[in-house]
Structure 1
């Protein structure tokens, strides 16, 4: 099996060296640049499996690099994780709305970063990151297409399975209906936005059978989240 390729866009040499070391040790083929414009060129020449993207880099900002990668057909669906010292909620939301799949604030643990990358890779290349996703009392076998809650099998349709998988890969994150449409139905989907609500209801019905607690949190004017705390956010 070919190694997963990672494009690292980071202008701090010490951080870039540390990140590259940890990912190469995990078997990744790492290419790195400190320049935003160079990052876009590298991704255009050969799309990586995943991008680690610093918010503040010379040339183009990380946000603009993310925006351009999402517009290019070859990289539209490549997972992007933002690396940044910016920890404000508004900045995190801006990064996610631009198309980032996840967001890691500096300083960060290299082990956590590797785990985050493994999580987003499950969506596109599950064999690289393992087969089992879990959260609270929910377990999903992504290869066998099986879901269990507290040990009991849960029957899900294909769309509900993809929705739950996306939530399990990003527990605690709040996703707008638009972002869920992109992640589950695809960027070019012509599905109506309210269709997301229909499938969320179906997912809840299947997951909550038998009076189990609802893990899907509705966030007013924002979207949905997989969260064990109904009062959070």
Structure 2
């Protein structure tokens, strides 16, 4: 899932350049030239991960807009854009609850770094043994596949196969390569065993329709696991 950015910037040229650059970095950007247009969004399905707000905007300045957003979404991270590198801007933004600010015109690479640093601070760290697979989470230490519909305790072989498929996500995987890697042998019986394990994984992961483990005739399998 892409990080979704709320961008409030009334300068058309700067806003367009900034939006295009952020999208090149694989962010999803919703750009509001008129900050007043953001107000109705607050009471709707607010799915943004971070806000980038210009301070100097007509009708509603960035500080006032931030107060409105934080009143509804108290933990929403905000980075201010300002053409004035003045102390009062820093203090006001910090008092409101801003996470960072950057002066315009800004270095795009510095902006990207600041965005990523903010997201690291506000998003809970994921333990190294936890892997997200679509709407599932796999705890590799506990061999536990978790979902809101229920949890499943995997066998060691099931987890090994799932991790192998995940390693080759969105690629064609040869049956022979799986058997040689996990079973270290390739005969009729291990081939049948592989088919059984594939069927189990399909069943375990069936609560997420976006997850696909497709058989490729004469080749093996192709998997599509949505990942963050």
After TM superposition, the score normalised by the length of structure 1 is 0.51
Q: 1:119 aligns with which of 117, 120, 125?
A: 117
Partner residue, 1:226: none
Q: Deviations over 1:122-172 (max 9, x none)?
A: 123367xxxxxxxxxxxxxx745xxxxxxxxxxxxxxxxxxxxxxxxxxxx
State the partner residue of 1:58: 58
Gaps of at least 5 residues in structure 1 are 128-141, 145-233
1:158-189 CA distance string (max 9 Å, x none): xxxxxxxxxxxxxxxxxxxxxxxxxxxxxxxx
Task: Name the structure 2 match of 1:71.
Answer: 71
* Alignment root-mean-square deviation, CA: 2.0
Q: Give deviations 1:166-221, integer Å, cap 9, x for gaps.
A: xxxxxxxxxxxxxxxxxxxxxxxxxxxxxxxxxxxxxxxxxxxxxxxxxxxxxxxx
Q: RCO greater where, 1 or 2, for CA within 8 Å and sep 6 or more? A: 2
- C-alpha distance in 2 between matches for 1:117 and 1:101: 10
Are the equivalent residues in 2 in contact too, given 1:34–1:58 (CA < 8 A)? no
Q: Give runs of aligned pairs for residues 1-233 of structure 1, distance below 5 A.
A: 2-45=1-44, 46-72=46-72, 75-125=73-123, 143=127
Which whole-Å CA distance do the structure 2 matches of 1:12 and 1:117 have between them? 20
Give the drift of 1:91.
Answer: 1.6
Following superposition, the deviation at residue 47 of structure 1 comes to: 3.5
Write out the 4+ residue segments of structure 1 that deviate beyond 4 Å after TM superposition: none
- Structure 2 alignment gaps of length 5 or more: 129-228
**Contact 1:56–1:84 (CA under 8 A) maintained in structure 2:** yes
Give the match's secondary structure for 1:108. coil
Q: How far does residue 70 in structure 1 lie from its aligned partner after superposition? A: 1.1
Whichever of the two has the greater Rg, that structure is 2
Taking the aligned partners of 1:22 and 1:114, their CA distance within structure 2 comes to: 9
1:27-63 CA-partner distances (Å, limit 9, x unpaired) = 1111001122212323442231000000011221111
Distance 2:10 2:57 in 1: 6
Q: Secondary structure at the match of 1:82?
A: strand
